[in-house]
Structure 1
Amino acid sequence: MDEDTKSIATPLLESSPSGTASRLQTLGNIIVSIVGTGVLGLPFAFRIAGWLAGSLGVAIVGVTTYYCMLLLIQVLCRENLASNGSSVEARTYGDLGYKSFGSFGQYLTEFLILVAQCGGSVAYLVFIGQNLQSIFQHPGLTFQLFIILLVPIEIGLSWIGSLSALAPFSIFADICNVLAMAIVVKEDIQQAAEGEFSFGQRTAITSNLGGLPFAGGMAVFCFEGFGMTLALENSMKDRAKFPRLLAQTFGGITLVYILFGFFGYMAYGDETRDIVTLNLPRNWSSIAVQVGLCLGLVFTFPIMVHPINEIVEEKLKRLQCFTKPCHSDNNSLTRLGKIGIYISRAIVVIGLAILASCVPAFGVFASLVGSTVCALISFVLPATFHLKLFGSSLHLWQKALDSVVLFCGLFFAAYGTYNTVVGV
């Protein structure tokens, strides 16, 4: 980021307080935004791709995602610098789409973000359903039944007005993620000490090339939270230090991902499940971690769904029967409008639950979401915006690098989607 860009102090997201978070707070926000349930599918991805190919794939995805995050921040800051003194400024990802390709670009960007949020929400439900099915093993208790039982709870939570009351549960879920990862590593070390597997029995690079994009889609899904880039950068008090902090955090997360995927695959080999917690022995510690993960995700699901509700409710508030005349704030809703908001949130939860009940497996779905919308949002759009808005001022190597990211992202999205759909 150049010196002119560093001096920009224009807020990127109106809903986020600008310049209040310390370095430590920003570090925590980055980790919470990026690390999610997808990490527990990495050992399965390493099983599909091989431990060496999987390690290289996660490293490449991590570096590319970091680079594209910097592109997004750079484009936004320069656009606001160019807009200084005018009434039109870029504040969101959708605004960049509008500045690049007009209304079509804005609608496409917001649509992809909406689909990505829906995909992440569905993955949460599938994850909870499969883990509860593993805990309460009974022929009549399918994971679809557990998802249905969750619907009334999630509808009630989605009606809570303040999301800040649910935010601590997101941290709780991440703590459970760490505990699950620790237990998997412990199991691996224990099996290695007992000589229950040989390193040579594990595949380094799969002979099935179709497994590589499948594993790549899972890796992309693991680096979730790309849409939070602008809010995270804007929230930091010393924004000039954000790129370096982001690089350090991404480096640490990528290393942890590689080690966890490696150890998980080494522990269970060809028996590795698409959610590695399903491989854990049935003892009190493993069950406690699984229950903790499910409980944390139950309370963080409304946070994941919140952007979807915002988009739906914005459309509803444009209806004359939903709002009082001569009012534009949130208190302008009529009684019918308030009831409509509650109903819309319930419909969103029910719709996502129906989709989740049709998903065959967490790993397949996570790879599909990562290969499609996550790849487009994380790689294709940032590179396209950068080339479109500043192509004439870029060096040749910058144009070449952006073009490589763009076309590789498109190829990966197309080929990864095909492989996921037809099966690995």
Structure 2
Amino acid sequence: MEHDSKTPLLESSRKTSKLQTLGNIIVTVVGTGVLGLPFAFRVAGWVAGSLGVAIVGVSTYYCMLLLVCCRDKLASEKALGEGGTYGDLGYRSFGTLGRILTEFIILVAQCAGSIAYLVFIGQNLDSIFQSKEFSVTSYIFMLVPVEIGLSWIGSLSALAPFSIFADVCNVLAMGIVVKEDVQQALGDGFPLGQRTAITSNIRGLPFAAGMAVFCFEGFGMTLALENSMQDRSKFPKLLAQTFSGITLVYILFGLCGYMAFGEETKDIVTLNLPRNWSSLTVQVGLCLGLVFTFPIMLHPVNEIVEGKLKHVCRNNNDSTSLGNISIYVSRAIVVVLLAFIASFVPEFGVFASFVGSTLCAMLSFVLPAIFHLKIFGSSLRIWQKALDFFVLICGLLFAVYGTYSTVVGV
């Protein structure tokens, strides 16, 4: 899939600064899943939950670097342009079938994450206003015009200010949640010994792991984020620093939530908070943050869809203006379709774990390991091959068993 720099909605030549890239990484990774972490800690136990989040964070970072290495190698061999996508790696590794499979998984995974955003916003708006005239579905469709307008913003650099605003909203909201959690936990004497350290329910571990994987969403944005940075050589270090901070925050957030509410912890921790100004502020802040995060989550989806549209327009000799119009229309259609599907989504916690166990596991662990083994081949050292095979096998086993556990129920 090649990008046309003359088509601004497909790609922009503008590059992001280190600060802008930092904002985009945070807003891409941190989403609704973090609110399910206290519930995941309740299911797995606080020790198992903490270790699980740390392992998932390190593994995700490693696999992100694998993608960048694969793209750089192919680019150096002139087998791939600098703007290569995840789907391009699939094509260079396994041909057309590899591209189709890769892009299909990205499409469904990113759509699932976007749907989770819409469901969360709709449920929280319904909780805030408690209107008998409007349902969760009504609030979801009220967001459609706003999200369509935001989706028409063409580049990651242009979205950076919205990313930073969303980050501020998320940080403030999470800060208030932690404050409420700590107050609640301290009121009970911070009952560490009274909380489960490692669950005896074996099915609870993969369920919680699926939730943790879902928390590190936005994997399909890795190459776009790295390619958008002005000094791409600094991306690995920036990504490592950012992931270290996010992982630590995730562990503290899940731990505080579980300590505060114990076995009463709900799948969305904000539902445990008392109905007062601080909890309403949390809900509003998170909703605002996710509203502005939504178009970034859709970027990989639009990238794939618009690549196909561009190919069709080129074959039909359509004008550039007609191609741009089709892009605007396609982005609007994608938002409407996701809103429609979101109105039928089941319980948030089960949905998030299922997506994390299946799509996110394939996208975050299995495919990067396969691509790395295929593209580098015999040039890899023995320990590198062993590590890639370990990640690949663990990712497949986790996807199978995690899916089973989620479907059967914790």
TM over 0.5: yes
The residue identity in structure 1 corresponding to 2:321 is N
The residue identity in structure 1 corresponding to 2:355 is V
Assess, with a 3 A threshold, how the Cα gap between structure 1 residues 351 and 90 changes in structure 2: closer, same or farther.
closer
Assess, with a 3 A threshold, how the Cα gap between structure 1 residues 275 and 28 changes in structure 2: closer, same or farther.
same
Matched, 1:201 2:194: yes
Q: Does the residue aligned with 1:91 lie in a helix, a strand or coil? A: coil
Deviation at 1:351, TM superposition (A): 2.3
Assess, with a 3 A threshold, how the Cα gap between structure 1 residues 195 and 387 changes in structure 2: closer, same or farther.
same
Deviation at 1:235, TM superposition (A): 3.3
Q: Does the residue aligned with 2:298 lie in a helix, a strand or coil? A: helix
2:321 maps to 331
Deviation at 1:409, TM superposition (A): 0.4
1:8 maps to none
* d(CA) in 1 for partners of 2:351, 2:16: 35
1:6 maps to none
Q: Pick from 276, 282, 290: which aligns with 1:283?
A: 276
Assess, with a 3 A threshold, how the Cα gap between structure 1 residues 16 and 313 changes in structure 2: closer, same or farther.
closer
Q: TM-score, normalised by structure 1?
A: 0.85
State whether residues 366 and 395 of structure 2, in contact with CA within 8 Å, keep that contact through their aligned partners in structure 1. Answer: yes
Assess, with a 3 A threshold, how the Cα gap between structure 1 residues 368 and 183 changes in structure 2: closer, same or farther.
same
Q: Deviations over 1:39-59 (max 9, x none)?
A: 121111111111111000001
2:48 maps to 53
Q: Pick from 224, 231, 235: which aligns with 1:231?
A: 224
State whether residues 12 and 92 of structure 1, in contact with CA within 8 Å, keep that contact through their aligned partners in structure 2. Answer: no
1:360 maps to 346
Deviation at 1:364, TM superposition (A): 1.3
Matched, 1:187 2:177: no
Assess, with a 3 A threshold, how the Cα gap between structure 1 residues 155 and 24 changes in structure 2: closer, same or farther.
closer
Alignment of 1:11-410 (within 5 A): 15=11, 17=13, 20-83=15-78, 91-137=84-130, 141-155=134-148, 157-158=150-151, 167-195=160-188, 198-316=191-309, 326-327=317-318, 330-333=320-323, 338=325, 344-410=330-396
Q: Deviations over 1:332-369 (max 9, x none)?
A: 44xxx94x656544443332123212212221111111
Q: Does the residue aligned with 1:209 lie in a helix, a strand or coil? A: coil
State whether residues 221 and 369 of structure 1, in contact with CA within 8 Å, keep that contact through their aligned partners in structure 2. Answer: yes
The residue identity in structure 2 corresponding to 1:401 is L
Deviation at 1:64, TM superposition (A): 0.6
Assess, with a 3 A threshold, how the Cα gap between structure 1 residues 418 and 179 changes in structure 2: closer, same or farther.
same
State whether residues 214 and 419 of structure 1, in contact with CA within 8 Å, keep that contact through their aligned partners in structure 2. Answer: yes
* d(CA) in 2 for partners of 1:158, 1:115: 18
Stretch of structure 1 that moved more, 175-184 or 304-313:
304-313
1:412 maps to 398
Assess, with a 3 A threshold, how the Cα gap between structure 1 residues 89 and 308 changes in structure 2: closer, same or farther.
closer
* d(CA) in 2 for partners of 1:194, 1:78: 55
State whether residues 24 and 164 of structure 2, in contact with CA within 8 Å, keep that contact through their aligned partners in structure 1. Answer: no
* d(CA) in 2 for partners of 1:21, 1:172: 16
Could you tell me the percent identity over the aligned residues? 72
State whether residues 20 and 160 of structure 2, in contact with CA within 8 Å, keep that contact through their aligned partners in structure 1. Answer: no
CA-based RMSD: 2.9
Q: Deviations over 1:262-318 (max 9, x none)?
A: 011111111212121222211112212212322332344344334434433444455
Assess, with a 3 A threshold, how the Cα gap between structure 1 residues 332 and 188 changes in structure 2: closer, same or farther.
closer
State whether residues 12 and 154 of structure 2, in contact with CA within 8 Å, keep that contact through their aligned partners in structure 1. Answer: no
Structure 2 unpaired stretches of 5+: 6-10
Deviation at 1:176, TM superposition (A): 2.2
* d(CA) in 1 for partners of 2:112, 2:22: 25
* d(CA) in 2 for partners of 1:350, 1:94: 24
Q: Deviations over 1:18-60 (max 9, x none)?
A: 8x54443433332222222221211111111111110000010
Q: Deviations over 1:220-249 (max 9, x none)?
A: 111122222223323334433332222222
* d(CA) in 1 for partners of 2:43, 2:405: 12
Stretch of structure 1 that moved more, 44-53 or 27-36:
27-36
State whether residues 122 and 355 of structure 1, in contact with CA within 8 Å, keep that contact through their aligned partners in structure 2. Answer: yes
The residue identity in structure 2 corresponding to 1:362 is F
* d(CA) in 1 for partners of 2:329, 2:89: 32
Deviation at 1:389, TM superposition (A): 1.8
Q: TM-score, normalised by structure 2?
A: 0.88
State whether residues 13 and 91 of structure 1, in contact with CA within 8 Å, keep that contact through their aligned partners in structure 2. Answer: no
State whether residues 324 and 332 of structure 1, in contact with CA within 8 Å, keep that contact through their aligned partners in structure 2. Answer: no
Q: Does the residue aligned with 2:355 lie in a helix, a strand or coil? A: helix
Assess, with a 3 A threshold, how the Cα gap between structure 1 residues 89 and 100 changes in structure 2: closer, same or farther.
farther
Stretch of structure 1 that moved more, 268-277 or 47-56:
268-277
The residue identity in structure 2 corresponding to 1:62 is G
Q: How many residues align?
A: 404
Structure 1 unpaired stretches of 5+: 1-10
Assess, with a 3 A threshold, how the Cα gap between structure 1 residues 79 and 347 changes in structure 2: closer, same or farther.
closer
Deviation at 1:147, TM superposition (A): 2.2
Deviation at 1:210, TM superposition (A): 0.8
